[in-house]
Every structure is written in C-alpha cells, then in structure tokens.
C-alpha cells in the first residue's frame, strides 16, 4: 500500500488547486467547498485501486468531486436533467455584446480571479447546472464529451446549458465589462 499512497499523492498534488477552485465556485461557501473537496479526496483515495493507470487522473478526480457536489445538493442533479425552454434572446443585442464578452471567454480563470463582486455575483447567480457546466468548460477546460460523462447527461444538454450560461453572463456583464475597460485592455 505504501506505493499506492505515494502514487496517489503524486497524481493528486497538481490537481489540488483546480479541485479546490472548482468546489469553491460551485459551493460559494468556503466550509461547504472544504467539505466537498475533503470528501472527494477521501473517496478518491479509497477507490484509487479502481483508477486505470494511463488514463486522466484529473478527469477521474473531477468526476468524483462532481458526484460529491451533486450529492450534497440533490436539487442541482434534478435541474441538470430538467430541460427548461430557451429564453427569448434579442439576437441583435446579443451580437453587440459578443465582442466584449469574447475577451472574458478567452481567459476566464484570470478574469474571475481579478474581478470585482459584480462579476462574482453574476457567475454565482447562474442556475447550478449552468454554472457547473460553464466552470467545467470555460475555466477547467474539459471537453463537452468529458462534461457529459461527468454529469451523465447528453452532450446536447451540456451544450444548451453552456449556451444559456454564456447568454445570461453576456447579458449580466455587458455593461460591467464595458465600464471597467476590460475589453479595451485585453485586445
């Protein structure tokens, strides 16, 4: 077992910050995030013998963390499966916002780390299912297929959640992005 412990620690160490960051953004409460990460790490350690060497430890660890978060909030799991009708979007207005918002999408992690409370509140205000998909894709860089596998939902549902999250953020953040000059300084 000593080799398994060392192997686990070696694989876990580069992922600790990303796991913590994701949990903190999904839970938005430091205590809940700590509990979820701790439970996920303990679960991963107990199940480490089922990890297939040569596959993505990062994806495996995120899958466990996502399950812990979903179990901690069963409402999130229900909202992932419920397809809400797409909101009516003013396409002209959406296109006008696109350029400023594209800057945020190019480097969301850096942007989220340095933004003020209005932006954090905008991300926090997303429905849990949309926030989870947005953070997994835009911040953590997982593919649509990986996200669909993590959440056990169709890839089309992942894409629609991501589309709605981006549309909501675009709407909410358009004025803030323009006012702060982020779009001008990042170009």
DSSP string, the chain: -HHHHHHHHHHHGGGHHHHHHHHHHHH-SHHHHHHHHHHHHHHHHHTGGGS-TTS-HHHHHHHHHHHHHHHH-HHHHHHHH--PPPPP--HHHHHHHHHHHHHHHHSHHHHHHH--HHHHHHHHTS-HHHHHHHIIIIIT---HHHHHHHHTS-HHHHHHHHHHHHHHHHHHHHHHHHHHTHHHHH-
**Per-residue pLDDT reduced to its tens digit, 23-52:** 988 876 788 889 999 999 999 999 999 999
Does residue 77 belong to any structural domain of this protein? no
User: What is the pLDDT at residue 174?
Assistant: 78
Question: What's the pTM?
Answer: 0.63
User: What is the pLDDT at residue 139?
Assistant: 81
Asked whether residue 109 falls in the same domain as residue 182, the answer is yes
Q: How many domains does one find in the chain?
A: 2
Q: What percent of the chain has pLDDT over 70?
A: 70
Last residue of a domain, one of 72, 102, 133: 72
Asked whether residue 46 falls in the same domain as residue 95, the answer is no
Whichever domain contains 114, its CATH number is 1.10.10.10
**Per-residue pLDDT reduced to its tens digit, 75-133:** 555 555 554 444 444 555 444 455 444 555 555 555 555 555 777 788 888 988 898 89
Asked whether residue 22 falls in the same domain as residue 107, the answer is no
The mean of the pLDDT values for the chain is 78
Asked whether residue 45 falls in the same domain as residue 15, the answer is yes
Whichever domain contains 19, its CATH number is 1.10.1740.10
Does residue 85 belong to any structural domain of this protein? no
* Residue, of 179 and 110, whose pLDDT is higher: 179
Does residue 155 belong to any structural domain of this protein? yes
Full residue range of the structural domain in which residue 159 is found: 91-186
């Amino acid at each position: 077992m000593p080799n398994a412990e060392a192997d686990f620690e070696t694989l876990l160490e580069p992922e600790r910050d990303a796991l913590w960051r994701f949990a903190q953004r999904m839970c938005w409460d430091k205590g809940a995030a700590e509990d979820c990460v701790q439970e996920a790490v303990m679960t991963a350690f107990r199940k480490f013998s089922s990890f297939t060497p040569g596959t993505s430890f990062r994806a495996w660890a995120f899958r466990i963390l996502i399950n812990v978060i979903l179990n901690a909030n069963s409402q999130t799991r229900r909202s992932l499966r419920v397809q809400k009708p797409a909101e009516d979007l003013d396409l002209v207005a959406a296109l006008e916002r696109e350029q400023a918002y594209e800057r945020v999408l190019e480097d969301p992690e850096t942007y989220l780390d340095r933004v003020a409370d209005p932006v954090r509140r905008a991300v926090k205000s997303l429905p849990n299912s949309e926030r989870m998909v947005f953070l997994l894709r835009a911040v953590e860089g997982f593919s649509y297929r990986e996200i669909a596998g993590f959440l056990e939902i169709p890839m089309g549902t992942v894409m629609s959640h991501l589309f709605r999250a981006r549309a909501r953020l675009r709407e909410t953040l358009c004025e803030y992005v323009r006012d702060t000059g982020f779009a001008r300084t990042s170009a």
